[in-house]
Amino acid sequence: MNLGAKFDNSYARLPAQLFTPLAPTPVAAPKLIRFNGDLARELGITTSDDAQLAQIFAGNVAPDGAAPLAQAYGGHQFGNWNPGLGDGRALLLGEVIDSHGQRRDIALKGSGRTPYSRSGDGRAALGPVLREYLVSEAMHAMGVPTTRALAAVLTGEQVWRETALPGAVLTRVAASHIRVGTFQLAAARGDLAGLKALADHVIARHYPDATGPEGLLAAITARQAELIAQWMALGFIHGVMNTDNMAVSGETIDYGPCAFMDLFDPLTVLSSIDHGGRYAWRNQPDIAVWNLAQLATALIPLMPDRDAAVESFTNIINGFAEHYLLAWRRRFGAKIGLAEPTEADQALMSRLLGLMAQDGADFTNAFAALAGDKAQDQFTDRAAFADWRRDWQARVPDPALMARANPQVIPRTHLIEAAISAAIAGDLAPFHAMLEVVTDPFAPLTGARAPYARPPAEDERVLRTFCGT
């Protein structure tokens, strides 16, 4: 079937050991839940017939020019090396050049078993598909580099996740799906040719100005520092920052047990599988460094001299701290309306965060309220807030900058869960309504938008999030 978009599948031309060519497993009764028309136009997709789109994005019909394949990768999961990961429930359909001249992956998630499925069924349940759709599109709307959601399709089949649930397929669009773990697997296999091809591919595709493994590592490190600072500034917790879930492009990838914080607590960890709090909000920059060190280790075989490589790579990764500090200061500076924050302003930001943590303020609403005249309502220690406010006002914050840096709404976990429950019961209206709101995050909270900014009541609070795979 002709989708309109022209495929050019560069990953499929890489050494064969990096992937397995494989078609999606057809499903019983594809039905389109949602199609992202704006993104489709960017990709040059011209098909607009719902039934055809459902067939293609369920994996039942291959679009002309696609060369579906499952990517091989390994990864450190919660610090433990696992060489046997890879696309277990996903397939790369192929790549297209978008209207900006950028190469983009189009991939299916939930498309059936692959050689990397291990004991999994290769399928996705409706809940995780809708969650990824909502959160990734909200992240994009907030200006965070991220994979995108192009389509969600019901399969007409059930999947078993402790109970029977409707099955679905998400179509994900990414700058690429190459992960730290993709490099790690090639290195662990001693596959120098694969490693070299991968590095050349990533340089050409994402970092054309980078020279050699050092340039590549430096560019990825800088991009990650920027990305994590953006997560932090939105109270976003990825939840599973395993090395297989860190894209070398610098896009946020793999929305599993992720969440935005409601009450501000730097130690917040929500994922049901993160027992030690390894991926708590506060730990994310350190974990990024840990992951980058694994990438550096994987790149060593590409360097002529091991000791010199270790020294050089160590310096590059040590550069994360400075880059991150400046990115953090710029992001949090914008949140309090300071375009050129100084080191002294950094103390002002930390003081505010300290107050927010002490008072258990709602992360999103406290920042969103700062520009208005009711900000003190977000704090219990009003005297301390008034002191802070006086010092802050002396710096003459720019309200327009704040309005662009502080979303009025984020996809709140309890509302995502409510939308998912309704969808499982057959009502997709709450999902569609929520998507409209969270993809316009900086608009004023008028009318039907207002309830989406309300923090969860005590009995609505979601204390644990699940991968749901």
Q: How far is the CB of 254 from Mg ion (least distance, A)?
A: 4
Q: Which of 87/274 has CB closer to ligand AMP?
A: 87
Q: How far is the CB of 20 from ligand AMP (least distance, A)?
A: 13
Q: Which of 109/412 has CB closer to Mg ion?
A: 109
Q: Does 71 bind Mg ion (CB under 5 A)?
A: no
- For the segment 23-42, give every residue that binds Mg ion (CB under 5 A): none
Region at 407 (left for phi over 0; alpha for psi -120 to 50; beta for the rest): beta
Q: How far is the CB of 308 from ligand AMP (least distance, A)?
A: 34
Does residue 391 carry a catalytic annotation? no
Q: How far is the CB of 380 from ligand AMP (least distance, A)?
A: 38
Q: Which of 42, 105, 132, 254 binds Mg ion (CB under 5 A)?
A: 254
Q: Which of 270/327 has CB closer to ligand AMP?
A: 270
Q: Which of 167/397 has CB closer to ligand AMP?
A: 167
For residues 131, 132, 138, 139, the Cα torsion angle rounded to the nearest 10 degrees is: 140
* Paired strand residues for 106: 94, 173
Q: Can you tell me the distance from the alpha carbon of 145 to that of 59, in angstroms, rounded to the nearest whole number?
A: 26
Binding at 120: pick from Mg ion, ligand AMP, none (beta carbon under 5-8 Å per type): ligand AMP
Which whole-number Å values give the CA distances from 430 to 85, 136, 364, 421, in the listed order?
34, 17, 21, 10
Q: Which residues would be at the binding site for ligand AMP (CB under 6 A)?
A: 85-90, 116-117, 120-123, 240, 242, 245, 254, 256, 467, 469
Using the rule CB under 5 A, give the single segment among 38-46, 136-144, 223-231, 252-260 that binds Mg ion: 252-260
Q: Which of 238/412 has CB closer to ligand AMP?
A: 238
* Paired strand residues for 108: 91, 171
Q: How far is the CB of 468 from ligand AMP (least distance, A)?
A: 9
Cβ distance 206 to 249 under 8 Å?
yes
Q: How far is the CB of 244 from Mg ion (least distance, A)?
A: 5
Binding at 183: pick from Mg ion, ligand AMP, none (beta carbon under 5-8 Å per type): none
* Paired strand residues for 125: 167
Nearest of 367, 295, 294, 288 to residue 324 by alpha carbon = 288
Q: Provide the 3-class DSSP secondary structure of residue 407.
A: coil
Q: Which of 147, 245, 284, 294 binds Mg ion (CB under 5 A)?
A: 245
Cβ distance 22 to 91 under 8 Å?
yes
Q: How far is the CB of 413 from ligand AMP (least distance, A)?
A: 18
> Which amino acid is it at 169?
V
Q: Can you tell me the distance from the alpha carbon of 30 to that of 185, in angstroms, rounded to the nearest whole number?
A: 35
Q: Does 251 bind Mg ion (CB under 5 A)?
A: no
Q: Does 105 bind Mg ion (CB under 5 A)?
A: no
Binding at 122: pick from ligand AMP, Mg ion, none (beta carbon under 5-8 Å per type): ligand AMP
Q: Can you tell me the distance from the alpha carbon of 94 to that of 211, in angstroms, rounded to the nearest whole number?
A: 27
**Helical packing angle, 126-141 and 413-424, nearest 10°:** 140
Q: Does 184 bind Mg ion (CB under 5 A)?
A: no
Using the rule CB under 5 A, give the single segment among 46-54, 129-137, 242-250, 261-269 that binds Mg ion: 242-250
Q: Which of 245/268 has CB closer to Mg ion?
A: 245
Which whole-number Å values give the CA distances from 423 to 112, 380, 419, in the listed order?
22, 38, 6
Q: How many C-beta neighbours within 10 Å does residue 203 have? A: 18
Q: Which of 30/256 has CB closer to ligand AMP?
A: 256
For residue 98, give both structure tokens. Answer: 């978008």
CA torsion sign, 244 to 276 to 133 to 166? positive
**Which candidate in 87, 105, 244, 274 is catalytic?**
244
Cβ distance 431 to 134 under 8 Å?
yes
Q: Which residues are tagged catalytic?
A: 244
Site residues for Mg ion per CB under 5 A: 245, 254
